[in-house]
Structure 1
Amino acid sequence: MTSYPGGPGVSGTPGAPTRGIAGGKFWAGAAAAALVTALSALVATVILRVFDLMPLSPNWLPETTVAVRFAILGFIGALVAAGLLQLLLLTTPGGDSFFGWIIGLITLAMAVVPFAYDAVMGDRIATSLVHLAIGLPILGLLPGVADRAAVWK
């Protein structure tokens, strides 16, 4: 086994392998992660409704149930995050670390934003929990997808 100073893919190391992404494998995994994120949002919303809590829902989506609205947002959000992750991995050293910080901070912000609204406190907490149910699967699943779709050239 050949070892490279500073690890594989370090710029300036002659003959060092570079990391790439198998696009088809990555996007298949990203679609699966998006589905899990959508289901997570759907289940979280349904559970909160059982406790008679109504998450605050964006009005700009087509008229449908609140659970479906959050599932749609979760699915789209996961696909957008996958695009960001692929871009960071292909252009930025340590892109997966930056991705973790970016998604973590966005998730934190989205969990706090509902408390700025003038609504019942229980509904604000419910909205915050649904936002966490969307952000955490994205943060937890997509880096693993990228890691498994990595190819060394």
Structure 2
Amino acid sequence: MDNDFEEEDRPTVDGARLWAGGAATAVTAGLTAIVGILIARGLVKVAVLAPSREGAWGGASTLTYSLASAAIALAATALLHLLLLTAPKPRRFFGWIMVLFTAISVVIPLSLGAALDARLATAIINLAIGLAITITLSGVAGSAIRPRRTTGSFEHESP
């Protein structure tokens, strides 16, 4: 079943469940950024987001990148909530919007004037963050929508 719906069939959205999942996605996105930077700087020795003399952690820019990733996940949650409440085929639109935003976040670092290895590492980190947000929130959307209960149904309610 697609879980996308027409207006008359529109289920209700469990906002608490959606935003709890969005918060968990924000943590996941932030940690994805940190892991990506640690791998790039610590294992592959690519000076991404800071000069290599700052070590694997990379200074304040690593924390900033992580917090920005978490904020983007929360913004994506808000977009998903809006689409679930208003759009036809909300999960399809959300998927396309997120794929396009992820593509932009991958292409931008590739077009900058930094060293090629730093550009590639940043693009790969951005891809990982975008996929983490998109895939996680797509799953959250499925668990946050509830079928609308119709009155007068013949369903038997258990005690």
Q: TM-score range by the shorter chain?
A: 0.7 to 0.9
Rg larger in structure: 2
Are 2:81 and 1:86 aligned? yes
Give TM-score, length-normalised by structure 2.
0.80
Displacement of 1:65 in angstroms is 2.5
For 2:147 and 2:75, locate their aligned partners in 1 and report how far apart those are by CA, in whole Å.
25
Question: Where does 1:3-152 land on structure 2 (aligned, <5 Å)?
Answer: 9-11=5-7, 17-50=9-42, 51-56=44-49, 64-152=59-147
Q: Which residue of 1 aligns with 2:152?
A: none
User: Is the partner of 2:67 in helix, strand or coil?
Assistant: helix
Classify 1:145/1:53 alpha carbon distance in 2 versus 1 (closer, same or farther; 3 Å): same
**Aligned residue type for 1:134:** I
Q: What secondary structure does 1:33 align onto?
A: helix
Instruction: Give aligned-pair identity as a percent.
Output: 35
Deviation at 1:67, TM superposition (A): 2.2
- What secondary structure is seen at the aligned counterpart in 2 of 1:24? helix
Q: Which runs of 4+ in 1 moved over 6 A?
A: none
- Kept in 2: contact 1:23–1:149 (CA 8 A): yes
1:139 corresponds to which letter in structure 2? Answer: T
- Provide the rounded CA distance (Å) in 2 between the counterparts of 1:105 and 1:131: 12
Tell me the CA shift for residue 8 of structure 1. 8.4
Change (3 A) 1:93 1:120: same
CA contact (8 A) 1:56 1:124 kept: no
Provide the alpha-carbon RMSD of the alignment.
1.8
Give distance in 2, aligned partners of 1:8 and 1:137: 22
Structure 1 unmatched runs, 5+: 1-6, 58-63
In the aligned structure 1, how far is the partner of 2:117 from the partner of 2:106?
14
Instruction: Output the CA distance in 2 between the equivalents of 1:86 and 1:138.
Output: 14
- Contact 2:49–2:62 under 8 Å retained in 1: no
Unmatched tracts of structure 2, length 5 or more: 51-58, 149-159
Amino acid at match of 2:33: A
> CA 1:8–1:114 in structure 2 vs 1: closer, same or farther (change >3 Å)?
closer
CA contact (8 A) 2:102 2:130 kept: yes
- How far has the Cα of 1:20 moved from its partner? 1.7
Count how many residue pairs are aligned between Structure 1 and Structure 2.
137
- So what's the TM-score if we normalise by structure 1? 0.83
